[in-house]
Structure 1
Amino acid sequence: MEKFKRKVFYLGGFDPRGVRFYHQLYREQAARHAALTGDAIMVSGRQAGPAGAAVSALWRVESPAAGVETDYEYLRWEDLIGKVWIRNPLSLAWRAARAYAGHARHMDFRRMRRLRKGPVITILYPPILAVLIPLLLALVPALLLSLLLPFWVGALAGIVVSALLSGRILAKLVVPWLLRFMTYHGALAAEGPGEALDDRLDRFAARIAEQLDGDWDEVQIVTHSAGTILGMRLLRRLLALRGGSLPDHVVLLGLGQVVPVIGLRRDAAWYHDDLRALADRHFRYVDISSPPDGAAYYNVNPFRLVADRHAARVDMLSPRFHLFYRPENYHGGWSNKYEAHFDYLRVGDRLSPLDFISLTAGRRTVDDAVAAFRMIP
């Protein structure tokens, strides 16, 4: 069997855990895939990418039974995320309040709601819960104890109870992460990427550009979560380096797409320019976003945010996770919203043509995987 050679570039979301976490996640899911098929998938250790450890990490994936070799390159920006990751709760509260004031002024919430209601709720519930939960945890014990003790004693006890419990409850509801996410992207929309991030995207684009003419049967540029936002700017730079076009075996893959977080900000003119520039270009884009994922924009074409038409060949798909998980393992409820946003990178209880390992380590091209997925009733 002639080997199928694939190159994958992966650009992740707003997550400081970085390459160590994602390499381990890939190994775990490859083992899960192998357990379902009986065919081993070998994942190497990670090493610094050819462009340097600050730019990327590399590992190799081999599926002997399928005759597939995948060169997997993780594009790194977790160091930049770490520099803006707000750790102090008081600082987070203050900066999130300012960020949400900016979103209230500049975000087109009416249009966002017409596109998808779920992400609007996901954006708005963190500041509401961040106020209500500590307040209720303080107020209820204070009022109850004030029936037996002086009010100041009850009030002090309420503050202590709130301080002890509210952080854990808010973390379980993913409130701090969402506040950080919205704070960062509020600044990104208003101020642009800045020199450090733009330089990193330039280095990513240069690295991808030099690989496109390699001996690959397929090249995937995979973006996930907030990486789908930066992926558009990256793609514009890549097209500029390649004279405005990409080889036919190249595909941009968006998982859990969140482009409207910036695309619907009225003040993000720099990003609107990126999307308009891409709307005129021919390339292949496949968007896989789940309707129950409250952070993702299912069936929202990013290029239609700024243009009436586009030249790209686009597929918009739901991964239909409910078909591939047993009910007891399928993520549900507010406390699992964060985990559900990572199901795009996992393998379910039953194989899907669109699960992450099948896409990146299987023999089907993305186009063949999409066609096979569409045949599932």
Structure 2
Amino acid sequence: MSSAAAGTTAAAESTAAMASSSAVVEQRLYVLSGFDPRGAAPLHRLLKQVFPLGARPRQEGWLSRWPLEPAGAAAELAGEELVCLHWDDIARRHWPRQPLALLVDGWDLYKWYLGSGGFPQVARLAPGAAFTGLYPVLVVVLLAALAGAAAWLAGGIGGVWWALAAAGVVLVLGWQLAERLAVGWLFRTLRFTHRLAEERVPELPQRLRVWADQIVALEQRCPAAELELVGHSCGSFVAVMLAAELRRRPEAAALVQRLSLLTLGHNIPHLALLPAARPFRADLAQLLEQPRLPWRDWSSADDWLCFAGVNPLAVVGLADGAGNYPEQLLLPLANRRGIPAGLQGFWGRLSQQFQLHFDYWQWLPRAGSGSCCGSARLG
């Protein structure tokens, strides 16, 4: 059986299993991680710091319902359920491991970013995001310069073979260091976004349709009073795409009336600004149709991997007449939980960017409250 057929069969079995459930749920959170090939385990660990989650159950198709422990803090969250939407297999499929493959794809990506005005557009919106977009190129240039210097010095001592060996050692060690510093992860994320805009990720639209089928089945059999679709980082634009898919479906009309959208640390402009991303811009326009889906966007100026305080609709000229939509909140560093001391300076923040970027999950228990302690509301 082909992998596509196996995935379809698994999704159908999962849909049937979910439809047989009859538990009462007051609030259900559908959570989408960012572009991450590691599976659901890291997200489960993050959410376990906040929610009284039990053991992670076996994945059913492309959804997993994560139950809460029946004791302790769970009493305060009675009737709440988390549902993980899996797309890590897609991330793995678009996660090249060879440096040469990344360099080849980098030419196409940065031809737009540096040669066709992408960098100035991003810099006007979010200087930090513009810098992180440029970060992989700066690392590659630095490694090339170091390898050239090593080759020149070694060549003067032992000739051409020593020069090649020295350059090779620098490049190998530099690549390993770059991977540890998540430079490769950052570039792969940008590469995936670029490929998605050019419709070179057919698996994701297929997954959106499967998710929609499974969510409709689950909510028909076991409806929750409130639904929230939560997307973090690249998961923010995937959440927008899924919300638009649900809005287009007549059979999902009832659940859409109970649905709201929450984006965390979004990088939507990285996709929306790409000239080929017309389907995604149509999804953004779909969310503006009445009645509008409640949408909140949380970000932080301390998080340089996101577009803090940037209205994703304004980026593509859709904000006129939209008012305070989506409702935006800025979370200050000082009031965020789990952040170590000493991050008030530039270098302190720079060294902890990835921790800061993932800390939004700490605020999820307040996702249904409509407010955030210590935050600044934009609009």
**One of 161, 185, 189 as aligned partner of 1:177:** 185
> Structure 1 residue 160: deviation in Å?
3.8
> Structure 1 residue 177: deviation in Å?
1.0
Distance in structure 2 (CA, Å) of the matches to 1:227 and 1:234: 10
1:209 aligned residue:
216
Q: Is 1:56 matched with 2:63?
A: yes
1:341 aligned residue:
357
Distance in structure 2 (CA, Å) of the matches to 1:190 and 1:107: 18
Q: Is the 8 A contact 1:141 1:158 kept in 2?
A: yes
Per the alignment, do residues 4 and 230 of structure 1 end up closer, same or farther by CA in structure 2, a change over 3 Å counting? closer
> Structure 1 residue 317: deviation in Å?
1.1
Distance in structure 2 (CA, Å) of the matches to 1:84 and 1:161: 27
Q: Is 1:266 matched with 2:287?
A: no
Q: How many residues align?
A: 342
Distance in structure 2 (CA, Å) of the matches to 1:211 and 1:13: 23
Per the alignment, do residues 246 and 192 of structure 1 end up closer, same or farther by CA in structure 2, a change over 3 Å counting? farther
Deviations 1:162-183, CA, capped at 9 Å, x for gaps: 1342023212432211221111
> Structure 1 residue 87: deviation in Å?
0.9
Q: Is the 8 A contact 1:57 1:73 kept in 2?
A: yes
Q: Is 1:290 matched with 2:296?
A: no
Distance in structure 1 (CA, Å) of the matches to 2:125 and 2:193: 19
User: What code does the residue aligned with 1:85 have?
Assistant: W
> Structure 1 residue 156: deviation in Å?
3.3
> Structure 1 residue 295: deviation in Å?
1.6
Give runs of aligned pairs for residues 108-147 of structure 1, distance below 5 A. 108-133=118-143, 135-145=144-154
Distance in structure 1 (CA, Å) of the matches to 2:340 and 2:141: 36
Distance in structure 2 (CA, Å) of the matches to 1:101 and 1:311: 35
Give runs of aligned pairs for residues 89-108 of structure 1, distance below 5 A. 89-104=99-114, 108=118
Give unmatched runs, 5+ long, in structure 1.
31-40, 347-354
Deviations 1:305-338, CA, capped at 9 Å, x for gaps: 3312337853211221332335247894544323
> Structure 1 residue 61: deviation in Å?
1.9
Distance in structure 2 (CA, Å) of the matches to 1:77 and 1:249: 24
Q: Is the 8 A contact 2:299 2:306 kept in 1?
A: yes
Distance in structure 2 (CA, Å) of the matches to 1:244 and 1:312: 24
1:18 aligned residue:
39
Deviations 1:207-258, CA, capped at 9 Å, x for gaps: 3334557553432211011111111111111112257686665321101101
Per the alignment, do residues 67 and 191 of structure 1 end up closer, same or farther by CA in structure 2, a change over 3 Å counting? closer
2:88 aligned residue:
78
Distance in structure 1 (CA, Å) of the matches to 2:325 and 2:142: 45
Q: Is the 8 A contact 1:299 1:316 kept in 2?
A: yes
Percent same amino acid among aligned pairs?
Answer: 26
Per the alignment, do residues 22 and 193 of structure 1 end up closer, same or farther by CA in structure 2, a change over 3 Å counting? same
User: What code does the residue aligned with 2:329 have?
Assistant: L
2:326 aligned residue:
314
1:351 aligned residue:
none
Q: Is the 8 A contact 2:151 2:163 kept in 1?
A: yes
Distance in structure 2 (CA, Å) of the matches to 1:245 and 1:120: 40
Q: Is the 8 A contact 1:95 1:183 kept in 2?
A: yes
Per the alignment, do residues 152 and 248 of structure 1 end up closer, same or farther by CA in structure 2, a change over 3 Å counting? same
Q: Is the 8 A contact 1:48 1:56 kept in 2?
A: no
Distance in structure 1 (CA, Å) of the matches to 2:26 and 2:254: 22
Q: Is the 8 A contact 1:100 1:183 kept in 2?
A: no
Q: Is 1:366 matched with 2:369?
A: yes
- Name the SS for the 1:278 alignment partner: helix
Distance in structure 1 (CA, Å) of the matches to 2:28 and 2:53: 14
- Name the SS for the 1:298 alignment partner: coil
TM-score normalised to the size of structure 2?
Answer: 0.80
Q: Is the 8 A contact 1:192 1:268 kept in 2?
A: no
Distance in structure 1 (CA, Å) of the matches to 2:130 and 2:286: 27
Q: Is 1:280 matched with 2:289?
A: yes
Give unmatched runs, 5+ long, in structure 2.
1-23
TM-score normalised to the size of structure 1?
Answer: 0.80
